[in-house]
A and B are shown apart, each in its own frame.
Chain A
Amino acid sequence: MASTHQIVTANRLRDGAVVYLTADGRWSETLACGALAEDKATAADLLAQAERSVTDRLVVGPYAFPVALAPEGPQPTQKREQIRAAGPTVHPQFGRDTGIARAAR
């Protein structure tokens, strides 16, 4: 079943790192720390909050992406977000230990 859950992500201004918006308005490199929006309205609220971080020059280009709920935590459904979460599939040594399934084929 298609999940309607979303998490808000962006790249950090200073180093470009992939970050996720947490429930208390901070940014984490760990996907599992991302605030889960269960509906469109919540996602819109999170994005509005993220835009304030853009103004504060913390992050660049925030957007929401879909995740599926799994016992080990939220999983991105799109390949692009799987790779953003885990790092390049061709350089496992640069991947991040996110505790989520790697994006390898």
Chain B
Amino acid sequence: MYRYDEFDHTLVAERVAQFRDQVNRRVAGALTEDEFKPLRLMNGLYLQLHAYMLRVAIPYGVLSATQMRRLAHIARTYDKGYGHFTTRQNIQYNWPNLEDVPDILEELAEVEMHAIQTSGNCIRNVTADQFAGVAADEFDDPRVYAEIIRQWSTLHPEFSFLPRKFKIAITGAPNDRAAVKVHDIGLRMVAGPDGAPGFEVIVGGGQGRTPMIGYVVRDYLPVPQLLAYLEAVLRVYNQLGRRDNLYKARIKILVHETGREEFTRLVEEEFAAMAGENPPALPGGELARIRAYFQPPAYADLPASTPELDLALAGNRTFARWVKTAVAEHKQPGYAIVTISLKPIGGIPGDASADEMDAVADLAERFGFGEIRVTHEQNLVLPDVPRQDLFALWQSLDAAGLATANVGLVSDIIACPGLDYCNLANARSIPIAQEISQRFADLDRQHDIGDLKVKISGCINACGHHHVGHIGILGVDRKGVEYYQVTLGGDATENAALGDITGPSFSGEAITDAVETIIATYIGHREDGERFLDTYRRIGMKPFKEALYAAH
């Protein structure tokens, strides 16, 4: 993985000192809250319902065991012993004191981490495929470009006061695990006419109040032009994006109101005009320098299978079931990618205790090269597990309470913090996730139901990605009472789709029953091997609607 050099170390250390000074000036009265707020947000510090919340960047979801241990240490020392992994591959601490935050940032800087631009109207932490660099289906390693974008976007002088936040996601694989079509800019690595790697550039996707699927502004962008092109898109947005209405300020609205053709023309015109103005380049030497950090580790020549593994798979149903959900194909024979579910039955999606973080760090070293990934679905990944060690890993995970065999199933729910923590929320998300998880606690039943993505947001900002859930749940406030609107058929992958609303919303008491009704309808209609999403696409909303609202 990438390691800081003197420049990166210097910048992050200086940024910590700068923020310490800003906090001191706030406490001393030299800055008002209005002046301080954008400054703290640009360092990931929110003021939530009960306390400050610090959002720490995990750039493109890549963590070392050392960094994970530091996250655990921070949770113990400055917080209440846990952290929350988010849908943007970040971690959030829910209880820091204002004046401790500079110390926390200093602790993070020591292990090459920061909270820069995890909030605010700027370019946010760039996200990527959590299987980057190890996925069997990968075309090129997006981490290289994600790191390049991380650096370019850090303290960008022109783009720190955009109309609204700006999110970039990147994938190097045809199977999109990074939801690139619902980001402000999505980058999909593709081969150019000459076979050289480049990017399909997708602009104007997003969730929130006005969900939209992004459109392709450029079929193929050669690698050396990446940053200049991003800069052109951002400049058009910075100048023309709406600033009169918070809810219409994202780039998707600009694209929508300007029209795709005209927006594309504006970007290409700006890109062409910038050519002679020292645009950000990607010199070959710098590209090679960064790529060198992402060279494959020293893989051994290992068997895809061993008699012991075969025996365990045949004889231990619980283990076999876990393998079926948790293990993905690795590009290196003899190795596996293992997803660790942070969704224990009845648990809080994405929460991890300090002890669990330490346990995962230990396992990353024992069963890999000390690397961990964070997924936008709020799980963790061990990217390089020898297949022959799968059983031993599973036993260790089981001992740590981290072996729930539900990845990709109904209880692998995405949920935002909701009204339990968040200042923007209208309704709680976590208790709904917990109740659904408990209702479907039986893993046999979950495996029978199969692939199903339930995503819950506590407000229209859609941090819980409900628009792209197979079953999406949106919390709304009806006269001070929590209600939940349901959407069906959303999809965050390369076949991105926004869910359709079923009809009137459900009370907190009725929502889990509604989910059960939806699933029963699917089971009743599914044909051989059909996933929920396939059945929905085949039969449409009507049968679900009838089942849900039959009594009314």
Which residues in A have their C-beta under 8 angstroms from that of B425? 80
Q: Is B493 positioned at the interface, with any CB of A under 8 Å from its CB?
A: no
Which residues in A have their C-beta under 8 angstroms from that of B33? 54, 60-61
Structural contact, B480 and A87, CB atoms closer than 8 A: no
Q: Is B289 positioned at the interface, with any CB of A under 8 Å from its CB?
A: no
Structural contact, A80 and B508, CB atoms closer than 8 A: no
Structural contact, A79 and B51, CB atoms closer than 8 A: no
Contact code string A78-105 (vs B, CB < 8 Å = 1, else 0): 1110011001111100100000000001
Q: How many residues of A contact B (CB 8 A)?
A: 24
Which residues of chain A from 44 to 60 have a CB within 8 Å of any chain B CB? Answer: 54, 57, 60
The answer for the CA separation of A88 and B47 in the assembled complex, in Å, is 15
Closest to B480 in A: A78
Q: Is B29 positioned at the interface, with any CB of A under 8 Å from its CB?
A: yes
Which of B130-138, B356-364, B428-436 makes up part of the contact surface?
B428-436
Which residues in A have their C-beta under 8 angstroms from that of B348? 90
Q: How many residues of B contact A (CB 8 A)?
A: 31
Distance (whole angstroms) from the CB of A53 to the closest CB of chain B: 12
Which residues in B have their C-beta under 8 angstroms from that of A88? 50, 420-421
Which of A9-17, A20-28, A35-43 makes up part of the contact surface?
A9-17
Known: A18-B50, A60-B47, A94-B80. A83 touches B97 (CB 8 A): no
Contact code string B468-483 (vs A, CB < 8 Å = 1, else 0): 0000000001001110
Distance (whole angstroms) from the CB of A9 to the closest CB of chain B: 11
Structural contact, B98 and A90, CB atoms closer than 8 A: no
Which of B50, B95, B99, B421 has the largest count of A CB atoms less than 10 A from its CB?
A: B50
Q: Is B52 positioned at the interface, with any CB of A under 8 Å from its CB?
A: yes
When the two chains form the complex, which single residue of A17, A18, A79 contacts B480, counting CB atoms closer than 8 Å? A79
Structural contact, A14 and B98, CB atoms closer than 8 A: yes
Structural contact, B98 and A15, CB atoms closer than 8 A: yes
Instruction: Given contacts A18-B50, A79-B427, A89-B431, list 5 more A-B pairs with CB under 8 A.
Output: A57-B27, A80-B49, A80-B425, A94-B50, A105-B431
Distance (whole angstroms) from the CB of B459 to the closest CB of chain A: 11
The answer for the CA separation of A14 and B100 in the assembled complex, in Å, is 9
Q: Is A4 positioned at the interface, with any CB of B under 8 Å from its CB?
A: no
The answer for the CA separation of A59 and B250 in the assembled complex, in Å, is 31
Known: A57-B29, A61-B33, A90-B348. A16 touches B431 (CB 8 A): no
Q: Is B409 positioned at the interface, with any CB of A under 8 Å from its CB?
A: no
Structural contact, B434 and A90, CB atoms closer than 8 A: yes
The answer for the CA separation of A35 and B95 in the assembled complex, in Å, is 26
Structural contact, A77 and B480, CB atoms closer than 8 A: yes
Which residues of chain B from 275 to 289 have a CB within 8 Å of any chain A CB? Answer: none
Which residues of chain B from 76 to 105 have a CB within 8 Å of any chain A CB? Answer: 80, 95, 97-99
Distance (whole angstroms) from the CB of B366 to the closest CB of chain A: 31
Known: A17-B51, A18-B49. A79 touches B421 (CB 8 A): no
Q: Is B225 positioned at the interface, with any CB of A under 8 Å from its CB?
A: no
Structural contact, B97 and A14, CB atoms closer than 8 A: yes
When the two chains form the complex, which single residue of A15, A61, A78, A83 contacts B420, counting CB atoms closer than 8 Å? A83
Structural contact, B29 and A17, CB atoms closer than 8 A: no
Structural contact, A15 and B480, CB atoms closer than 8 A: no
The answer for the CA separation of A18 and B80 in the assembled complex, in Å, is 17
The answer for the CA separation of A11 and B482 in the assembled complex, in Å, is 24
Structural contact, A89 and B98, CB atoms closer than 8 A: no
Closest to A57 in B: B29
Which residues in A have their C-beta under 8 angstroms from that of B456? none
Q: Is B65 positioned at the interface, with any CB of A under 8 Å from its CB?
A: no
Which residues in A have their C-beta under 8 angstroms from that of B481? 79
Enumerate 29 A-B pairs (CB-CB under 8 Å) in ascending A order: A14-B97, A14-B98, A14-B99, A15-B51, A16-B47, A16-B48, A16-B52, A16-B98, A17-B50, A17-B51, A18-B49, A57-B27, A57-B29, A60-B47, A79-B419, A79-B427, A79-B480, A79-B481, A83-B419, A84-B49, A84-B50, A87-B50, A88-B50, A88-B421, A90-B420, A90-B430, A91-B80, A94-B50, A94-B80
Structural contact, A89 and B482, CB atoms closer than 8 A: no
Structural contact, B49 and A13, CB atoms closer than 8 A: no
Structural contact, A105 and B508, CB atoms closer than 8 A: yes
Which residues in B have their C-beta under 8 angstroms from that of A13? 26-27, 98
The answer for the CA separation of A8 and B434 in the assembled complex, in Å, is 33
Structural contact, A11 and B29, CB atoms closer than 8 A: no
Structural contact, B47 and A90, CB atoms closer than 8 A: no
Which residues in A have their C-beta under 8 angstroms from that of B430? 90
Closest to B100 in A: A15
Distance (whole angstroms) from the CB of A84 to the closest CB of chain B: 5
Known: A54-B33, A57-B29. A89 touches B428 (CB 8 A): yes
Which residues in B have their C-beta under 8 angstroms from that of A61? 33, 47
The answer for the CA separation of A14 and B348 in the assembled complex, in Å, is 28
